[in-house]
Amino acid sequence: MNTGQLSLALKMIQEDYKLDDRQMQVLSRRLIADDREFDRLWNAFKTRRLGNSDTFVDLLRELLA
């Protein structure tokens, strides 16, 4: 993962899901700590819209718990 990709992902996720500062801090720490977690999250975000359902929300909730 490069920092540009991480910054873009965090900014897009924060804007789309209206995350507060605490949630962003939790999410960014988890993603920085594990490249595989970042790859999983970023791929899920890019393919999150399948018809009328948003498949990304469940993964986001898991990471913020």
CA–CA dist 54, 51 (Å, integer): 8
pLDDT tens-digit series, residues 1-45: 688 899 999 999 999 999 999 999 999 999 999 889 899 888 888
Does an H or E element contain 19, and which?
A: none
What does the pLDDT read at residue 7? Answer: 92
How many independent structural domains does the chain possess?
1
pLDDT at 51 over 70: no
Q: pLDDT band at 52, cuts 50/70/90? A: confident
pLDDT at 64 over 70: yes
Range of the domain at 15: 3-64
Residue 51 CA to chain centroid, in angstroms? Answer: 20
Which tokens is 56 given?
């990304």
